[in-house]
């Protein structure tokens, strides 16, 4: 299917590229589903780092991953500390709140943009950043506006930026931004 119906189909399409042996970052661990997808994507030779400010998120991710993988490290830290990692080939953000958790704890514009700025600097040539932006939480419109302003400011000589929207879906579907580092 060329035209996607769900955001995760776009993410899965990107993750189907060859990232075997690469370094990936889940900037917003949540329940660990993207962390697990990244582990499957980079394989045993790759490595995945994850960031979340909620201990519940870190524990949920560890429980989901189980004993199958050893090539990952999760940080109980904000994603705006992403630059503790030197370099990476793939970064994913799932903005908003952790499903099944408090809707009062959300990503916010200031830390998200700071994190994305740092991520663009540690992203290797040919690296990909995926940003899934939801609206509907208390900080969502301000965050989306800041994310878009930041992405529009990226120099086209160094980055390709794509925005994918579901225009005819109800209930505030997410927008997916794809960023590729050219040099």
Coil, strand or helix at 122: helix
pLDDT of residue 36: 97
Q: How many domains does the chain have?
A: 1
The verdict on pTM exceeding 0.85 is yes
> Domain for residue 2, yes or no?
no
Which tens digit of pLDDT belongs to each residue from 92-114? Answer: 999 998 888 888 889 999 999 99
- Exposed / middle / buried, residue 146 (Cβ in 10 Å: 0-12, 13-18, 19+): middle
Q: What is the CATH number of the domain that holds 125?
A: 3.40.50.150
> Domain for residue 119, yes or no?
yes
What CA–CA distance (Å, rounded) separates 111 from 93? 12
Residue 129's domain comprises 7-181
The CA-based angle 160-164-167, given to 5 degrees, is 155
> Domain for residue 1, yes or no?
no
What CA–CA distance (Å, rounded) separates 44 from 151? 32
Which residues in the chain show pLDDT less than 50? Answer: none
């Amino acid at each position: 299917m060329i035209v996607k119906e769900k955001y995760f189909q776009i993410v899965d399409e990107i993750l189907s590229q060859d990232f075997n042996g690469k370094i990936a970052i889940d900037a917003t661990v949540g329940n660990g589903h993207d962390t697990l997808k990244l582990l499957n994507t980079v394989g045993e030779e790759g490595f995945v780092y994850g960031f979340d400010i909620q201990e519940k998120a870190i524990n949920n991710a560890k429980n989901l991953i189980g004993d199958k993988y050893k090539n990952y490290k999760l940080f109980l830290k904000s994603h705006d500390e992403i630059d503790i990692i030197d370099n990476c080939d793939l970064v994913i953000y799932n903005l908003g709140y952790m499903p099944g958790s408090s809707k009062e704890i959300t990503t916010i514009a200031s830390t998200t943009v700071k994190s994305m700025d740092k991520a663009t600097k540690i992203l290797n040539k040919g690296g990909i950043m995926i940003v899934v932006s939801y609206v509907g939480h208390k900080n969502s419109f301000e965050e989306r506006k800041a994310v878009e302003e930041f992405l529009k400011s990226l120099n086209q000589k160094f980055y390709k930026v794509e925005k994918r929207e579901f225009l005819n879906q109800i209930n505030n579907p997410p927008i997916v931004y794809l960023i590729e580092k050219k040099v």
